[in-house]
Amino acid sequence: MNVLILGADGFIGRHIAFALRAAGHEVTALARRPERLAAMGFATLRADLTDPACHSPAFWQPHLSGGTHLVNAAGLLTGSEASFAAVHEIAPRAAYAALDGGRAVLISAVGLDADTPFARWRRRGEGVARDSGAVTVLRPGLVLADTSYGGSSLLRALAALPFRRPLAGTGAEPMNPIHAEDLARVIAECLATPPGDGPQDGAWDIGGPETLSQDALSALIRRWLGLAPVPALILPRGLSRAMGRIGDALRVGPVSSTALDQLAAGVVADPAPLLERIATRPAPVSRFLFRRPAGTQDLWQARLYLLKPLIRLVLALMWAVSGLLGLFLPTGRFLPHLASPLPDAALTMLARAGGVLDLALAALLILNWRPRATALAQIALVGSYTVGLSLIAPHLWLDPFGGLLKNLPVLALLLTHLALTEER
């Protein structure tokens, strides 16, 4: 088959692309930034679904002609109403209208009863798919894979903590994960032989055959990582919601109210009706999780995952304090330590200008604005401070309290921060 995948650079989208290609199908991967996918050997299409150019069937017709199939794995967790509408409703409607003998599968989600923008626009997207008449709507439950992203990365990180395994809710919440490769096989079968409308408002649930509690799944992941068992730490619903709101405010990725509420509610899909129509049989989580050994990279990622936002917030605190000191510290407190040939007025001006730059970086870090660019700006500024102060006051390298010497571990931390900016 020839298949165009929307959202191909997402966690699920990448696994679908790789699995379909491995099965011998011709895949075109659509993404806003398809460079990585092109480097992986895929034919790519660069497009942003919020761009009005994507909102006409004429845009899609050259890419969906001749019976090319469509997999819509695009979706937003957060965003403006206009962005939600474009990604979940307007662009997909145009793409479905451009199908020329091909069929389509929409990857939706279970648990759409909540009154959240994510659930509301997912329901709207399912409505558009149903109206098109040529789309199979799949609602996966918890999707796991050899790699992880978002909620699955959070599960690994919580399971890998040293003394306790935090659980949102009671720990008894049920989950029946499906492996991303099994999900891709289901998608391929639904493209080849559509199962028709499903029993859940026209949609089909799909999940794994094994249901575990959140506590049991967390313990299983920890065992896969090769770590000794530790007791669970139950986070009551109120506490987990408070932590989620803090995560929302500080933009701490999946440590959000949406993610923690989902864990506290459980993630269960009922695959039985769909499995009566298809031949694919997803593997149980206790089997597929141990199909390969956990590598050092898996353990590093699990342990670094929660350190990543901590590093960002610690750096924001460092720049904020440094900026306030640069702006408001009396000159008598820092000029004597410089012992520089430059005039005091010039040194004071440099200190105040540096304070403004430091506060700007603190704001960018708190907002999590363009993480890679912000990390590079920090490295450049610390490097500039180090070179400048080495020229102005080289004796600071011999300061008994560290002075310029402390810039070296700061630069090492910033390089680590830069390496962790990649999300996928």
- Domain range list for the chain: 309-419
Task: Give the integer Cα–Cα distance in Å for 323 and 191.
Answer: 57
Task: Give the integer Cα–Cα distance in Å for 64 and 55.
Answer: 15
Closest CA to 8 of 40, 51, 37, 35: 37
Count other Cβ atoms within 10 Å, centred on residue 39: 9
Q: Three-state secondary structure along 253-318? A: CCCCHHHHHHHHHCECCCCHHHHCCCCCCCCCHHHHCCCCCCCHHHHHHHHHHCHHHHHHHHHHHH
The predicted-structure confidence for 59-88, as pLDDT tens digits, reads as follows: 999 999 999 999 999 998 878 999 999 999
Report the Cα 189 to chain-centroid distance in Å: 28
At residue 96, the pLDDT reads 98
The predicted-structure confidence for 297-311, as pLDDT tens digits, reads as follows: 999 999 999 999 999
The predicted-structure confidence for 357-397, as pLDDT tens digits, reads as follows: 999 999 999 999 999 999 999 999 999 999 998 988 888 89
DSSP H or E stretch at residue 178: strand 178-179
Token code pair at residue 197: 């409308």
At residue 129, the pLDDT reads 96
At residue 258, the pLDDT reads 73
Q: 348 falls in which pLDDT band (50, 70, 90)?
A: confident
At residue 55, the pLDDT reads 97
145 within 8 A of 109, measured Cβ to Cβ:
no
Task: Give the integer Cα–Cα distance in Å for 116 and 78.
Answer: 10
Q: Are strands 165-168 and 203-206 parallel, antiparallel or unpaired?
A: unpaired
Helix axes 407-419, 307-328, angle to 10 degrees: 140
What average pLDDT does the segment 241-246 reach? 83
pLDDT > 90 in the chain, percent = 77
Mean pLDDT of the chain: 93
The predicted-structure confidence for 5-46, as pLDDT tens digits, reads as follows: 999 999 999 999 999 999 999 999 999 999 999 999 999 999
117 within 8 A of 84, measured Cβ to Cβ:
yes
